[in-house]
Amino acid sequence: MNEINQKPILSRDYSYQKDVNVIHLGLGAFFRAFTCDYFQRMNKFATNSIRVMGVCLRTPDKIRALERQDGLFTAFEKGAHQLSSQVFDCIYDLVFAPDNPHYLLEALARPRVNLVTLTVTEKAYCLIPSSRELDLNNPDIIYDLKHPTTPRSAIGFLVYGLNLRRQRGIPPFTCLSCDNLPSNGKALSNAVLGFANRLDPKLGEWILNFGAFPSSMVDRIVPSISNEEVNYISTLTSYRDMAPVVHESYSLWVIENQFTIEAKFDFKKAGVKVVSDVGLFEHLKLRCLNGTHSALAYLGFLSGFKTVFEAVSNPILESFLDYLWKNEIVPTVIAPPDFEISDYVQELLDRYKNPNIKHLTKQIAMDGSEKLPQRILGTIEDNLKLGRSIELSCEVIGAWIRYTRGEDEACNKFDVMDPKANQFLEIHNSARNSKELVDSFINLEDIFCLSLRTNDVFKSMLEKALARQIEIGTLKSLKEVIR
């Protein structure tokens, strides 16, 4: 056994209570590095005011790791020039839902639990991306409608938990989405109400009348941690942590002031902006940050850059990003009150250039079919309506189409991580040229809304970008459009 494995693991030095008041679905790195950071700050003001039950719905690894260390974990903040760490202790109970769905459903029905937060990623909302309605053909939704005691999806658990509360005369909890979806509160209520109404329209009405689904904008770059980093962290600490997270220094959380009366947490004290309308913040962040993140992911990955830092260090990609922001993205967003967009964009570039954050382009490239509508396609739609340029955005969509083939420019093959990966492969196998590829892709109704599917300018611009990238390669193609 090496020295690291012999180290003690993290543990609490007292016997702690598992009487949680917040349930969080999705124990990924983002929740632990972002949401937990705010919960920790809140707990500094009122001791243990937030006690979280952490839930995983798909894989048990994180639960097992955190169970061994009593829910504690280390958060490493990596600024461009400094490092600091903290042990977070706001998670008090842990559940792998498939192991014990009954325990989770009963927890959701506990009167003390009045807030449920979610970081489950876009696809777990089971919505049709272009219409944002519940996808009744989604296999998990089909299954969950038939299995009230053993649901699989976040939506199924929320609705059956709410149903128990209604039957027992307990008011609903607030459902707070922390995922990167536009109007994520609305998206979540669409999914929950869509499911509840199928089950029992009276339940749907009760949730609509008494429930709350605030939208929120979440912003912090949290790359997935590598084994080397986990080992490195162990060398810095006196213990072995099996679930540490790394994150940048920046963070911003804006939440719509729309909670059930029972959920009285003081988010403001922790530095959260609580506002009446989060729309402008979401729009700005999804387009300026996530839009360019996806741009760097596809364009960078195809060109052989493994991380955002490597990609943005390439002068062509950096200039491309600058033009993309200035010419196509920023003109489509409106600044929230007291917010300077140019400062945000400048700061974004600095954040991408943080050499200590190793954010893999392949991580961001995942699930493009779910991400692109809100990140890039909305920008294209808005610019088309006003007759403005869409040339640069089309380079991004062109790169995404090439990425979905599962081969980079150096002919390295990779697995495309996307719910529609098989469909993409079929298209690539049958299309004979870039025109046919574009035709088939933009006819994917779940991704491209009607106005884009039927827009000739978009189609021809995309064909041009794709054909040029295939012919001369990504970076040369970008050089042509930023001249």
In the region spanning residues 275 to 294, those forming contacts with ligand CS2, defined by CB under 6 A, are 289-290, 293
**219 forms part of the interface with ligand CS2 (CB under 6 A):** yes
Tokens of 26: 């999705």
**Longest Cα–Cα distance in the chain:** 66
What's the DSSP call for residue 144? Answer: H
Interface residues for ligand CS2 in 25-64 (CB under 6 A)? none
Amino acid letter for position 360: L
Numbers of helices and strands, H then E, in the chain: 25, 11
Which residue, chain included where needed, has tokens 């029905």? Answer: 109
Pick 107 or 124: Cβ nearer ligand CS2: 124
Q: Which of 49, 197, 356, 363 binds ligand CS2 (CB under 6 A)?
A: 363
Q: Which of 110, 166, 220, 420 binds ligand CS2 (CB under 6 A)?
A: 220
C-beta closer to ligand CS2: residue 29 or 427: 29
Total residues in contact with ligand CS2, by rule CB under 6 A: 9
CA separation for the pair 157, 100 (Å, rounded): 12
Instruction: Specify the residue, 51 or 220, whose C-beta has the smaller distance to ligand CS2.
Output: 220
Give whole-number Cα distances, 385 to 287, 358, 380, in Å.
Answer: 17, 37, 9
Cβ within 8 Å of residue 445, ≥6 positions away: 130, 453
d(CA 130, CA 447): 5
d(CA 60, CA 55): 9
In the complex with ligand CS2, the residue whose CB is nearer, 188 or 438, is 188
Residue 442 sits at φ, ψ, to 5 deg, of -75, -5
Quick check: 118 binds ligand CS2 (CB under 6 A)? no
Q: Which stretch binds ligand CS2 (CB under 6 A): 143-151, 217-225, 387-395, 470-478?
A: 217-225
* Sites for ligand CS2 among residues 312-331 (CB under 6 A): none
Nearer CB in complex with ligand CS2: 163/292: 292
The verdict on 311 binding ligand CS2 (CB under 6 A) reads no
Contact of 250 with 78, CB cutoff 8 Å: no
Establish if 370 lies at the interface with ligand CS2 (CB under 6 A). Answer: no
How far apart CA 466 and CA 394 sit, in angstroms, is 8
Among all residues, whose Cβ is closest to ligand CS2? Answer: 293
Around Cβ 387, how many Cβ atoms within 10 Å? 8
Q: Is 402 in the site for ligand CS2 (CB under 6 A)?
A: no
| Closest distance of CB 220 from ligand CS2, Å | 5
Q: Does 240 bind ligand CS2 (CB under 6 A)?
A: no
Of 289 and 321, nearer to ligand CS2 (C-beta) is 289
Residue 395 binds ligand CS2, judged by CB under 6 A: no
User: Does residue 121 touch ligand CS2 according to CB under 6 A?
Assistant: no
Return the structure tokens found at 466: 């794709």
Which DSSP category does 106 fall into? H
Residues that bind ligand CS2 (CB under 6 A): 180, 219-221, 289-290, 293, 363-364
